[in-house]
């Protein structure tokens, strides 16, 4: 009976893992986002076209910067890091910690910090980032954003 109880615990441990933080070198090019907004009745822009780059310099850390046409139909820029110390199966789990601009109702379009829970799935040279963006008062509209990415090189 003890073996039956230990088996689910062992498979759960294999399913949830720490990512190796060793140095690495990968360059990715990212598309803009498609955002499924929580407030679908506000006539927000779901198709956030844009372009970005990610440089993974450690197994758990990626520098990122880009530009996209945001939900308020204005251009935004961002720069920051994606910190993903864990994985659930093949999906990396962590936070994108970055500075953003271009949202008219937030600091009059100026720069502001943000932390966005982020999941990443990669297969060979393609991947997807999924960001879970919280609502913030009547200034930022939350949703789930999907961003395609393509690996340019790795060492």
Name all domains of the chain by residue range, CATH numbers in brackets.
Answer: 23-154 (2.40.160.20)
Whole-number pLDDT of residue 10: 53
User: Rounded to whole angstroms, how far apart are CA atoms 121 and 10?
Assistant: 23
Those residues whose C-beta lies under 8 Å from the C-beta of residue 147, and which sit 6 or more positions away, are: 30, 31, 32, 33, 52, 128, 129, 130, 131
Whole-number pLDDT of residue 138: 78
- Convert the pLDDT of each residue in 3-55 to its tens digit: 555 555 555 667 889 999 999 999 999 999 999 999 888 899 999 999 999 99
Contact of 50 with 66, CB cutoff 8 Å: yes
- Convert the pLDDT of each residue in 95-113 to its tens digit: 999 999 999 999 999 999 9
- Convert the pLDDT of each residue in 119-144 to its tens digit: 999 999 999 999 999 988 878 899 99
């Amino acid at each position: 009976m003890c073996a039956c109880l230990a088996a689910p615990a062992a498979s759960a441990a294999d399913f949830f893992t720490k990512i190796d933080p060793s140095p690495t070198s990968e360059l990715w090019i990212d598309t803009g986002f498609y955002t499924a907004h929580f407030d679908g009745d506000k006539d927000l822009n779901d198709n956030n076209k844009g372009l970005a780059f990610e440089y993974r310099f450690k197994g758990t850390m990626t520098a990122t910067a880009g530009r996209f046409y945001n939900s308020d139909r204005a251009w935004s820029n961002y720069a920051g890091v994606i910190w993903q110390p864990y994985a659930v199966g093949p999906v990396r789990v962590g936070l994108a910690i970055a500075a953003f601009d271009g949202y008219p109702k937030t600091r009059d379009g100026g720069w502001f910090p943000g932390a966005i829970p982020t999941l990443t799935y990669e297969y060979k040279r393609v991947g997807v980032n999924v960001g879970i963006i919280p609502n913030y008062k009547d200034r930022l509209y939350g949703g789930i954003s999907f961003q395609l990415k393509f690996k340019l090189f790795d060492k």
